[in-house]
A = this chain, B = another copy of it.
Amino acid sequence: MDKNIFMELLAKREFKAVRSILNVMNAVDIASLLSELQDKELAQAFRLIPKEKAAEVFANMGNTMQGDLIDLFTEKELKEVLNDMFMDDTVDLLEDLPANVVTRILEAVGPEKRAQINKLLNYPEDSVGSIMTTEYVDLRKWMTVKQAMNHIRQVGIHKETIYTCYVLEARRLIGIVTAKDLMTADDETQIEELMEKEIISIKTHDDQEEAARLFSRYDLLALPVLDLDECMVGIVTVDDAMDVVVDEATEDMTLMAAINPSEDTYFETSVIQHAKNRIPWLLILMLSAAVTGAIITRYEEAFAAIPILVSFIPMLMDTGGNCGSQSSTLVIRGIALGEIEFKDLFRVMFKEFRISLIVGATLAVANGLRILIQYRNPSLALVIAVSLVATIIIAKMIGCVLPLLAKKVHLDPAIMASPLITTLVDTCSILVYFHIATLIFHLSL
């Protein structure tokens, strides 16, 4: 749908045409189409969306737009939209709205839903509780397939997912029945016979990344969530798990590039906000790099005697940084995917040590030969080759150890990525380089 045509139709008050367009469009696409509109036009267009789609369109809007719309809603409209929204979407909405709007919404939803929302709002950010929904289909083991199907028909229409049903006994989860089982079984079969008793579940306070890992490991459509007393309180659905995977990868990449993560897209974030997200780490890293600078001044006499030494600084620093970030990236990603844990520390170190020997030897030979041919100076070639090997070993050790240590002390391993590793490795490589140079060239300091 062309946005300009749509705006024109709206401006010309061709409401019939607008309504028929909105009628055939997907809720997600309507939400992005409406994102161009403001205030009066926005409210007008929203009122033309077919009733059964309105809540879904609303749930797919950005937070600013949702806030604007709520301001324009009558109490009746607000109630209608909130009634049709899934519990987890309502909670997402509330998490980012100003307090007075939140109060207005909580008043509109009625006491029962309000209690559920308040409970969900209290789960820590990034916990499973914060992304779960409390709407799911619960069955009893004595039901027949026919009774179960009738139960789904009665309650299932408003449930976010009905493809995995949960068999409860005194609020405990005792089995899982899929819609597939129900649809392909005889009407008179008892749920107890059908239900799967090996249950994969998660706790409300577990990390949402753990939930996402279970989804991709076991190819789930929904994951039951238990509270501390092992009672079932909700489910996480696969679409939310997919969002977690995408968002966490983005967050890790952003952190790994020394940027404070933002929840908005690149263009949604303002220039000022972009600058704010980037400056703190740059400042810290810039001032740390001054340490490397201070070390260099200590070796002033060395490069005054042999000025060519200075020209190898960039190559050593870059190679050290690159080697360190190779190791740290693989370890950070391995931790995120649950493939590497803190207990693997020595296994990882030993592996990285052997890798750094091979990598170091190869690079040292390549660069040593180049220098030998270019400068015909065997001592210089030796200094560079030995410094390279030492730098690479140090870089890979720092690169693999720091993310695991961060994990151990409950920091996000992603902050231990290239920029920080590079700065640390710089200091080490400069120290090693000039130390080796003074030794081999018999320079006195």
Residue positions of A touching B, CB distance < 8 A? 24-26, 28, 149, 152-153, 156-157, 162-163, 179-180, 182-184, 197-198, 200, 215-219, 221, 238-239, 241-243, 245-246, 249-250, 252-254, 256-259, 265-267, 271-272, 274-275, 278-279, 281-283, 285-287, 289-290, 292-294, 296-297, 300, 303-304, 307-308, 310-315, 317-319, 321-323, 325-326, 328-334, 337, 339-340, 344, 347-348, 351, 354-355, 358-359, 362-363, 366-367, 370, 418-419, 422-423, 426, 430
Contact = CB atoms under 8 A, between A and B. Distances in A.
Contact of A289 (B258, B281, B314): B314
Contacts of A153: 183-184
Contacts of A24: 197-198
Contacts of A217: 28
A318 B257 contact: no
Nearest to A295: B311
Nearest to A399: B257
A317 B256 CA distance: 18
Contact of A314 (B197, B292, B300, B363): B292
Contacts of A279: 358-359, 362-363
Contacts of A290: 315, 370
A366 B318 CA distance: 25
A314 B317 contact: yes
Given A198-B26, A304-B304, A321-B321, A313 B313 contact: yes
A339 B200 CA distance: 35
Nearest to A303: B310
A242 B239 contact: no
Contact of A319 (B157, B266, B289, B332): B289
State the 9 A-B residue pairs at the shortest beta-carbon distance, nearest first: A257-B329, A249-B249, A219-B239, A293-B311, A275-B358, A289-B315, A292-B314, A296-B311, A266-B334
B242 A329 contact: no
A327 to B, nearest CB: 9
A300 to B, nearest CB: 5
Given A257-B326, A290-B370, A275 B319 contact: no
Given A259-B330, A267-B339, A322 B239 contact: no
Nearest to A219: B239
A2 to B, nearest CB: 16
Given A152-B183, A253-B332, 20 more contacts: A26-B198, A28-B218, A179-B180, A253-B256, A254-B333, A257-B328, A266-B334, A271-B351, A279-B359, A282-B319, A282-B326, A285-B322, A286-B315, A287-B366, A289-B314, A294-B311, A296-B314, A304-B304, A321-B419, A322-B419
23 contacts: A26-B218, A153-B183, A156-B183, A179-B179, A179-B183, A238-B238, A245-B249, A257-B322, A257-B325, A266-B340, A275-B358, A278-B323, A278-B326, A279-B358, A283-B363, A283-B366, A290-B315, A292-B315, A304-B304, A310-B310, A313-B313, A318-B422, A318-B426
The majority secondary structure among interface residues of chain A is helix
A328 B267 CA distance: 14
Contacts of A321: 321, 419, 422
A278 B322 CA distance: 10
Contacts of A282: 319, 322-323, 326, 359, 363
A237 to B, nearest CB: 8
A153 to B, nearest CB: 5
A236 to B, nearest CB: 13
A162 B318 CA distance: 53
Contact of A329 (B254, B310, B367): B254
A315 B293 contact: yes
A266 B418 contact: no
A308 B314 contact: no
Contacts of A243: 216
Contact of A275 (B272, B300, B310, B362): B362
Contacts of A367: 286-287
A266 B308 contact: no
